[in-house]
Amino acid sequence: MQNIEELKRILSSPKKVVIIPHQKPDADALGSCLSLSAYLKKLHHQVQVLSPTDYPNFLTWMSGNEEVMVFEPSKEKIFQDIIRNSDVIFCLDYSDLARITPLDKWVVQSPAIKIMIDHHIDRIAFTQYELWEPKAAATAELVYDFIQLMGGNDLIDIPIAECIYAGIMTDTGSFKYPSTSSKIHRIIAKLLDIGINHSKIHHQIFDTNSENRLRLIGFALKERLTILREFRTAFFALSSSDLKTHQYQTGDTEGLVNYALSLEGIIFAAILIEDADKIKMSFRSIGDFSANDFAREHFNGGGHKNAAGGRVVNGKLDSVIQQFVSLLPHYKAKLFNSL
């Protein structure tokens, strides 16, 4: 990170700090925000985490969760005022302001000093300071680095370490993705030395399913999985009525796409989910095939080479399925050269 000394100076006296994760924050986005928030509070800053949307229940155990403000239209004025009156805004786990709508316009207008910490590939520079490293496995890894750069290692306590661990653990697929470097293992060792209970964190994230969620997964596997071996691709498509039947809650489909990717011979997987005003899509790949390019080129999205997301606003599920399938022949060579 350039200008760290300048930033240290800015953060050497108490400031009003706002921290914003992306929409539908995952464990990395929320864990990054809450670990940074707890650290900055120890430096006597006044900190507020503002989430553009709600997030899954399996993240609410994180320390500081109760202080997160979740946007809803009735809170527009409050959010606008907090963002406008802040001194410093941290943007964590995205490098494209479109991922925090409707907070983006207020962030742009705010006179605050802005800092982005992120590991996504496509970066649109919008802050004065950034710690941007697309090779990093998780934004939480970069928050850990940031605390080190600030000279704050001794302030990392168990609640901070737990949030960092959760972000790194989930964004590395429990330490199995190629991004899991030796550096990651060294950081994890330090977090364990601080005294976190990693088994408890795994349990809180992976083993707290509702019956509805499990049945939705079963239903999707049985009824909504299409396998296209001629393109080494498999995908799920879930309609809003499928979700309603299973009393869908935010986070219930998280990770589902990985079942499609776990099929032998399949290297590209997707999930298409019908929402009120859009079709939300997640893409996963194995090897060289770029889910990021696919999402960016066709579905207004992006992410990482092997994990990306996108959307079609006001799309109909059937026509988006058709569009997705009709694109695959153009990628046949890449799909077969990936591994």
- Find which of ligand 5GP, Mn ion, none residue 309 binds, CB within 5 to 8 Å per kind: ligand 5GP
307 contacts 178 by C-beta, under 8 angstroms = no
- Tell whether residue 130 is a contact of Mn ion (CB under 5 A): no
- Find which of Mn ion, ligand 5GP, none residue 310 binds, CB within 5 to 8 Å per kind: ligand 5GP
- Tell whether residue 180 is a contact of Mn ion (CB under 5 A): no
Q: Buried b / exposed e across 68-85, counting CB within 10 Å, b at 16+?
A: beebeeeeeeebbebbee
Would strands 233-238 and 268-274 be described as parallel, antiparallel, or unpaired?
Answer: parallel
Of 93 and 130, CB closest to Mn ion: 93
Q: How many residues bind ligand 5GP (CB under 6 A)?
A: 13
The C-alpha atoms of residue 212 and residue 219 are separated, in whole angstroms, by: 10
95 contacts 123 by C-beta, under 8 angstroms = yes
Closest approach of Cβ 143 to ligand 5GP, in Å? Answer: 15
Closest approach of Cβ 134 to ligand 5GP, in Å? Answer: 11
Of positions 15, 114, 304, 334, contacts ligand 5GP by CB under 6 A: 304
Residues 6+ apart with CB under 8 A from 12: none
- Tell whether residue 310 is a contact of ligand 5GP (CB under 6 A): yes
- Tell whether residue 315 is a contact of ligand 5GP (CB under 6 A): no
Closest approach of Cβ 68 to Mn ion, in Å? Answer: 17
- Tell whether residue 306 is a contact of ligand 5GP (CB under 6 A): no
Name residues contacting Mn ion, limited to 46-105 (CB under 5 A): 93
The C-alpha atoms of residue 262 and residue 251 are separated, in whole angstroms, by: 20
70 contacts 53 by C-beta, under 8 angstroms = yes
For 217-228, give the DSSP string: HHHHHHHSEEEE
Of 96 and 274, CB closest to ligand 5GP: 96
Of positions 52, 56, 167, 309, contacts ligand 5GP by CB under 6 A: 309
Question: Which of 5, 15, 265, 326 lies closest to 149, judged by CA?
Answer: 5
- Tell whether residue 30 is a contact of ligand 5GP (CB under 6 A): no
- Residue 117's beta-bridge partner residues? 92, 131
**Quick one: tokens of 25?**
């924050």
Closest approach of Cβ 96 to ligand 5GP, in Å? Answer: 5
Q: Determine the distance from the C-alpha atom of residue 238 to the mean position of all C-alpha atoms in its chain, rounded to a whole number.
A: 21
- Find which of Mn ion, ligand 5GP, none residue 139 binds, CB within 5 to 8 Å per kind: Mn ion
Binding residues for ligand 5GP, rule: CB under 6 A, are 22, 96, 99, 282, 301-304, 307-311
